[in-house]
Amino acid sequence: MNQQAITATPPAAGALANLSRRHFLGASGALVLGACLPVASANPKAKASVPFQPNLFLSLGPDGTVRVTAHRSEMGQGVRTALAQIIADELEADWSRVAVDQAPGDAKYGDQNTDGSQSILRNYDRLREAGASARLMLRQAAAARWQVPVEEVRAVNHQVTHAASGNSADYGELAGDAAALPIPAQPALKAIGEHRYIGKAVVHVDAADIVRGKGVFGADVHLPNMATAVVVRCPWLGGGVKRILNEPKEAPGLVAIETLEPAPSAGPVFAPLGGVAVVAEDTFSAMRVARDLQIEWTDSPNRGFASDELRSALRSALEKPGAKVPGAEKGDVEAAFQGGGKQLSAIYETPFLAHAPLEAPVAVADVSVAEKRCAVRAPLQDPQAARGLIAQSLGYPLESVSVTPTLLGGAFGRKSKPDFALEAVELSRRLGRPVRVQWLREDDIRHDYFHAASAQFHRAVIDERGLPQAWLQRTAFPSITTVFAAQASAPAGWELEMGFSNLPYETPNRRMESAGIRAGVRIGWLRSVCNIFHAFSANVFADEMAAAAGRDAIEHRLAMLPKAGKLAVPGMQPPPGHELDVERFRHVIERVRALSEWARPRPEGTGLGFAVHHSFRSYVATVLEASVVDGRPRVSNAYMVLDCGTFVNADTCRAQMEGAVVFGLSLALHGDIAMRDGAVLQSNFHDYPMLRMAEAPATKVELVPAQDRLPAGVGEPGVPPVAPALVNALFAATGKRHRSLPIRV
């Protein structure tokens, strides 16, 4: 196990704390933070003090400090550290002299949507090149200064040296010279064995701030004269304010009570829900007034929505043929079902879930109507999209709007949707002063973009080895596309490609069908999205096939895989290097069998459960060890094997697998959001509980060394196999099969 920890100096403190009001207001043209300005080498007199900024992502000052600009949002997945590792590695920088600044949302960085486990995959090559070209320029600068061939000059760990002459220089000393050089087109990159930071365990750059309470999250941004708003929203989606029954004339700290219009039903994506905003001088004054406010709301078609009814509708949808997944049909399932043999069928159900990041949505906006400017700081996963929507809502040009992410106190997909930032912008515009909108936990849980409730139907004919000779799969759920289009209801192809239409298992007769339905709430993506329910149903059904044939679950699963090769699955084909690879599937299964000592007998009443899933281009196999103690499931051990191709931070990958176990067990054991009369019944962590310390299993993680493969996702793919592994473990322990989540023993 690579436990070499490299501790960074705490750069983020400066980076975030130095975000002065001048920056924030954008009074100068320098809205960009840190190292984002183009090379300013035109003025030769300024040479010594000119930082060397060969690209958008790094700068080197005369003191030798390397400032990396992170253009992706940090939500615990370690991206600020990983991006800096990639650059520092190719730059051959001394890690203790690397600092990280956060980029605002700006198209010049390319895609900034921190979503879909893609930050490394999309940026690995370009950031390596950014670091490598800077390193080459430093060598060239030294060679010119020393009048020696550049090939003889080495740049290692922040020092440039020339062995024959004995010359050496710190990177900082060469920054000015390097800044005057042209940027090389295709710098040579390091070979796999030469990495200094990539693939190693590196402590997160924000760790030192966080343990001192100095990390700056959304609510920690404080501006002079800032007011705080708490918004009371209609319990059902689409309702507006008819009247406020008890509007206070005055209350301690009260600044204003503002009515916000609800988003039109076919309105702009991620528009705020509307409601009554209580704006006060401080948070508690706003909370106190908001708590007592009585509001009469207007009706909306969603007022009758009940999750129980949706659940029945999903079950009925599974009883009839749905829309066939194009290209998925093989053989003739109906004929096979008529033909007899051992048959198995089951329905699986999963409920709505709320993201519930520990930091509820919060945003600070400062709008100057006179100057037509707006600056926002908030925990946002996609600052660029937020910037566009904010500019649109204000009718300002894009350049007049700045959006800079703070640290995100967890997000899991929730903070891709900037509705809360738009609320702050609207209130700041109206009140003419900076406004922070603080969602309360109750607001967060009741007014989320919910992970969709779902149901799946599986039916198979199995042979004596438990292998499917015919397999019909149906899935039904309200699609995420329903938040984008008023008429949409059918699941989208990309939703089905999340663990439904892209299963690797062999069968001569196969059909896959899907059905959609509209729900009376906003649907959104939550960490691993449709993979959650698709991996659940497929892995439990596979376990049921194995059990029906009396076979070992892992042997059986290996036998279900094709012999070898890259699988063409129905739907969109991934780019070369990311095809679904049977060998990699097989390998993580075999590794988790070894890691968990699968064959070792466990105590009476304890069972092992296995699951494996491919998502976000990565492969994860899981074994959980579970029993039932005092009528409650207890998971004692978790084993996770991850193949994510090239990984940047080994320790982050482990941490993400550890966290995925907890996230997966939370949804398997506790997660359940229900609606009645359009309103969410849960409100806080007492009725929407999540895993706590005593329930967290000891967790072993193995990373498949695959530094010769393309990088793939890490933040999400650990989640899908956890819940089915638990169901399978409880079956092994007790003989009882749970087919719906959360598990009730």
Partner 1 sequence: MAIKLNVNGKQVAAEAAPDTPLLWVLRDRLALTGTKYGCGGGYCGACTVHVDGAPARSCQLPVSAVAASPIATIEGLEERHPELLKVWVEKNVAQCGYCQSGQLMSAAALLDAKPEPTDADIDAAMAGNICRCGTYVRIRAAIHQAAAQRNGE
Q: How many residues does the chain have?
A: 745
Residue 270: both structure tokens together: 């991620």
Alpha carbons within 13 angstroms on the beta-carbon side of residue 178 total 29
609: contact with ligand FES by CB under 6 A: no
Residues 5-34 as x/- pattern, contact with partner 1 by CB under 8 A = x-x---------------------------
515: contact with partner 1 by CB under 8 A: no
- Coil/strand/helix, residue 602: coil
What is the spatial distance between Cα 235 and Cα 275, in angstroms, rounded to a whole number? Answer: 10
The interface with partner 1 within residues 426-465 (CB under 8 A) comprises 438, 440-441
356 binds, among partner 1, ligand FES, none (CB under 5 to 8 A by kind): partner 1
Of residues 59 and 438, the one with the C-beta less far from partner 1: 438
Of residues 32 and 360, the one with the C-beta less far from partner 1: 360
What is the spatial distance between Cα 43 and Cα 50, in angstroms, rounded to a whole number? Answer: 9
Number of residues that bind partner 1 (CB under 8 A): 67
125 binds, among partner 1, ligand FES, none (CB under 5 to 8 A by kind): none
Q: How far is the CB of 213 from ligand FES (least distance, A)?
A: 13
Applying CB under 8 A, which part among 118-126, 266-274, 354-362, 528-536 lies near partner 1? 354-362
What letters, b where the CB count within 10 A reaches 16 and e where it falls short, cover 295-328? bebeebebbebebeebbebbeebbeeebeebeeb
Burial of 587 (0-12, 13-18, 19+ CB in 10 A): middle
End-to-end CA distance of the chain: 37
The interface with partner 1 within residues 227-256 (CB under 8 A) comprises 228, 252
660 binds, among ligand FES, partner 1, none (CB under 5 to 8 A by kind): partner 1
Q: CA distances (Å), 244 to each of 252, 275, 297, in order?
A: 19, 10, 9
- Cis check: omega of the bond before 575, within 30 degrees of 0: no
DSSP H helices in 572-634: 582-595
Of residues 3 and 43, the one with the C-beta less far from partner 1: 3
Indicate the DSSP class of residue 739: -
Q: Which of 10, 11, 26, 76 binds ligand FES (CB under 6 A)?
A: 76
Applying CB under 8 A, which part among 19-27, 220-228, 455-463, 496-504 lies near partner 1? 220-228
Q: How far is the CB of 539 from partner 1 (least distance, A)?
A: 20
Phi–psi pair at 404, nearest 5 degrees:
-120, 125
513: contact with partner 1 by CB under 8 A: no
716: contact with partner 1 by CB under 8 A: no
372 binds, among ligand FES, partner 1, none (CB under 5 to 8 A by kind): none
Of 602, 603, 643, 606, residue with least CA distance to 621: 643
Q: How far is the CB of 367 from partner 1 (least distance, A)?
A: 21
Q: How far is the CB of 358 from ligand FES (least distance, A)?
A: 4
Of residues 284 and 484, the one with the C-beta less far from partner 1: 284
284 binds, among partner 1, ligand FES, none (CB under 5 to 8 A by kind): partner 1
Residues 398-417 as x/- pattern, contact with partner 1 by CB under 8 A = ---------xxxxxx-----
Q: CA distances (Å), 655 to each of 83, 153, 204, 714, in order?
A: 17, 39, 11, 10
Residues 392-411 as x/- pattern, contact with ligand FES by CB under 6 A = ------------------x-
358: contact with ligand FES by CB under 6 A: yes
> Which residue type occupies 603?
P
- Coil/strand/helix, residue 336: helix
Which residues are bridge partners to 607 per DSSP? 626
5: contact with ligand FES by CB under 6 A: no
What is the spatial distance between Cα 640 and Cα 718, in angstroms, rounded to a whole number? Answer: 8
Q: How far is the CB of 155 from ligand FES (least distance, A)?
A: 37
The interface with partner 1 within residues 359-388 (CB under 8 A) comprises 359-360
Q: How far is the CB of 709 from partner 1 (least distance, A)?
A: 25
- Radius of gyration of the chain from Cα atoms? 27
CA 153 vs. chain centroid, Å, equals 42
Residue 113: both structure tokens together: 């949507």
Number of residues that bind ligand FES (CB under 6 A): 3
Which residues does 212 contact at the CB level (< 8 Å), separation at least 6?
Answer: none
Of 592, 633, 620, residue with least CA distance to 712: 620
22 binds, among partner 1, ligand FES, none (CB under 5 to 8 A by kind): none
Q: What are the residues binding ligand FES (CB under 6 A)? A: 76, 358, 410
Catalog residues that contact partner 1 under the rule CB under 8 A.
5, 7, 74-78, 201, 203-204, 206-208, 210-217, 219-220, 222, 228, 252, 282-285, 287, 356-360, 407-412, 438, 440-441, 651-652, 655, 658-663, 666, 684-686, 690-694, 696-699
